[in-house]
Amino acid sequence: MTKILVCGAGGFIGGHLVRYLMSKGHSIICADIKPKEYWFQYFEENQNFSVDLKNYENCLKVSDGAEFVFNMACNMGGMGFIENNKAECMLSVLINTNMLRACLFNKIKKYFFSSSACVYNSSKQAKNFIPGLKESDAYPAQPEDGYGWEKLFSERMCRHFSEDFKLDTRVARYHNVYGPMGTFDGGREKAPAALCRKIIYAKKNNLNEIEVWGDGEQTRTFMFIDDCIVGTIKIFENNSSDVFNLGSDEQVSINQLIDIVEEIADVKLKRKYLLNKPKGVRGRSSDNSKIFKELNWSPSISLKEGLEKTYKWVFDEISSGENSRKFTRF
């Protein structure tokens, strides 16, 4: 049994990662800034800390006794959140910086950092349905302002801690992870969950229209949470400290994403396009050739299949009268 610290364990990806690691028999330390009653998944048998990991002393405390660390913690959300909270997003650099320092002090064997596709040069994402972004396309640097700069800088921190201090690090660039047991309202939700919510409410309230940020022609790839967890473990366990893309290459426009959710919901709605809302880059897709060649990983869950599972979960949450701040205690 291995003792593993998961930072951001109360969040969407962190909660699913904790559940997976527990299923493999590991002993888990969980840390998150949120009060425990707001964690998306909470397992009482773990060591659970509600602490601010921007503080170095807290990083030392939670990593004491751990062998491995997964850092999933950051202040983030969908495009509406990260475009309007650039300074708050950049403060997450303190989490990674102080956790790396704590890992050296506590002699952690391996450190995983969850980066983002927002690190990619925005000039390469100016058109719809672009070719997949290769890992090398992050340079020359022109990432998403705020959140993207923090992630890119933190990647470099991992690299230099490996070079200078011999800390074994791994980095994955996540591309739009979605699925059940995450945020679907409140301002931090991403497109798949937000659109499921909008279409569910429209259908329940006999409305014939939903609001769409932008013109709906911006493109993305979306990775289901189960694929994300499997890919994360692949990257963590491999012998290379290289950065890897972790995403789907099934690129769709937001309008096409809506089409799929409407088909699942068996409804057809008008679309009111809000052109003044945050919409991010015009096109983004993951090139998975490196992770497939070196780690033999590719996503196994289609967008339609993943959206069916996500829609059902959001529908059940809304029907129960709860909301996305509800947590599940195990």
Looking at the annotation, which residues are catalytic? 147
CB of 184 closer than 8 Å to CB of 196: yes
Please spell the DSSP secondary structure of 259-282, one letter per residue: HHHHHHHT---EEEEETTS----S
Distances (CA, A) of 248 to 178, 199, 298: 11, 24, 8
Please spell the DSSP secondary structure of 115-167, one letter per residue: EEGGGS-GGGGSSSSPPPBPGGGG-S----TTHHHHHHHHHHHHHHHHHHH--
Q: Residue 323: how many CB atoms within 10 A of its CB?
A: 13
Smallest CA-to-CA distance from 159 within 111, 116, 121, 118 is with: 111
For residue 157, the one-letter residue type is M
**What is residue 237's three-state secondary structure?**
helix
Q: How far apart, in whole angstroms, are the C-alpha atoms of residue 168 and residue 100?
A: 10
